C-alpha cells in the first residue's frame, strides 16, 4: 500500500482511537485567517531573541495532563519526517508542506514534536450509528515546536502565511518518497500566542480526500505548527474545529 500522508495519518488516527477507547474513554473575538498580528515582529526585541535550549524546549512543550480531554505524547520516531525528505513542486509552497508533515519550518536552533489526540466526548441515549460517529469524533494533532535565534520564529509565521497565499490553488509535494496533492488552501479564524494564522488544507490522493486544519503560532522566540485531522471527517464527511485547547495550552507554556 502506498503510504501517502492521507493513509498514514488515517491509520495513526485509527490506532489512537482504538487505544483511547480501550483505556480512558470507555464507559475574545476571533481574528481573521491571518490571525493575530503583533505589530512589528522584527523590532529590537525580536532581533535580540535567543532560542531555548533543547532541555528548555522539552520542558515548554506540551505533556500529558496539560490539555484536559486530550492525550499527549512525544511523536513516535516512525511517524517523524525531516524537512530534508520533503520536496514541494513549487519552492514557494515548501513551508506549507513542511508544516503539514510536522517538520521544521525555517531553521530552528532546537526542535521537538508531540502527538495530541482528543478523547471522544461521552453522549447518552444515542442510536447505534450516532454512537459510532461520536466515538470516531477524534482529532489528532501533530505539534511541531521549534525555538529560534533572532527573528526566526517571526520569519516562520511570515513564510507560512506567504506560502498559503501563493499556493492557495493547490500544489503537489513529495514526502518520504511518496507523492501528495493539496487541492485547496482556505484561511480560517484563529487566535493564539503573540501571533497566529490558520487554514483548512484540502488534500486528495488515490481517490481519497481529506481536510487538514493547519495553524502556525508564535510565542516569543518559539514557533509551533499544528496539523490536525479528524477521523470522523475523513473522506470529506463534514467539518471539524481547530484544536483551540491545544493551541492555547501550548501558548501558555511558552509564555
Per-residue pLDDT reduced to its tens digit, 66-96? 999 999 999 999 999 999 999 999 999 999 9
* Number of domains observed in the structure of the chain: 1
Q: What is the DSSP string of 160-211?
A: HHHHHHHTTT-EEEEETTEEEEEEEEEEE----SSEEEEEEEEEEETTEEEE
Q: Which domain holds residue 99?
A: 5-254
Q: What is the mean pLDDT of residues 209-225?
A: 96
DSSP 212: E
Per-residue pLDDT reduced to its tens digit, 20-38? 444 433 333 333 344 554 4
pTM (predicted TM-score): 0.83
Q: What is the CATH number of the domain that holds 111?
A: 3.40.1000.70
pLDDT at 174: 95
Round the average pLDDT of the chain to a whole number and report it. 84
Q: Which triple of cell numbers denotes residue 247?
A: 493551541
Amino acid at each position: 500500500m502506498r503510504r501517502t500522508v492521507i493513509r498514514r495519518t488515517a491509520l495513526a488516527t485509527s490506532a489512537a482511537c482504538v487505544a483511547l477507547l480501550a483505556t480512558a474513554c470507555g464507559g475574545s473575538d476571533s481574528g481573521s485567517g491571518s490571525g493575530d498580528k503583533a505589530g512589528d515582529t522584527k523590532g529590537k526585541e525580536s532581533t535580540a531573541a535567543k532560542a531555548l535550549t533543547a532541555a528548555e524546549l522539552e520542558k515548554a512543550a506540551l505533556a500529558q495532563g496539560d490539555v484536559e480531554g486530550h492525550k499527549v505524547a512525544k511523536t513516535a520516531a516512525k511517524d517523524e519526517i525531516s524537512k530534508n525528505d520533503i520536496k514541494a513542486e513549487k519552492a514557494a509552497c515548501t513551508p506549507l508542506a513542511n508544516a503539514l508533515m510536522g517538520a521544521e519550518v525555517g531553521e530552528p536552533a532546537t526542535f521537538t514534536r508531540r502527538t495530541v489526540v482528543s478523547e471522544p466526548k461521552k453522549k447518552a441515549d444515542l442510536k447505534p450509528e450516532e454512537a459510532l460517529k461520536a466515538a470516531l469524533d477524534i482529532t489528532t494533532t501533530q505539534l511541531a515546536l521549534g525555538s529560534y535565534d533572532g527573528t526566526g520564529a517571526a520569519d516562520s509565521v511570515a513564510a507560512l502565511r506567504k506560502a498559503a497565499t501563493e499556493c492557495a490553488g493547490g500544489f503537489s509535494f513529495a514526502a518520504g518518497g511518496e507523492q501528495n496533492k493539496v487541492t485547496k488552501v482556505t484561511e480560517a479564524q484563529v487566535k493564539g500566542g503573540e501571533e497566529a494564522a490558520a487554514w483548512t488544507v484540502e488534500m486528495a490522493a488515490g481517490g481519497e480526500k481529506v481536510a487538514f486544519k493547519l495553524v502556525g503560532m508564535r510565542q516569543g522566540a518559539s514557533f509551533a505548527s499544528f496539523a490536525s485531522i479528524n477521523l470522523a471527517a475523513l473522506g470529506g464527511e463534514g467539518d471539524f474545529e481547530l484544536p483551540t485547547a491545544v493551541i492555547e495550552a501550548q501558548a501558555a507554556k511558552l509564555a
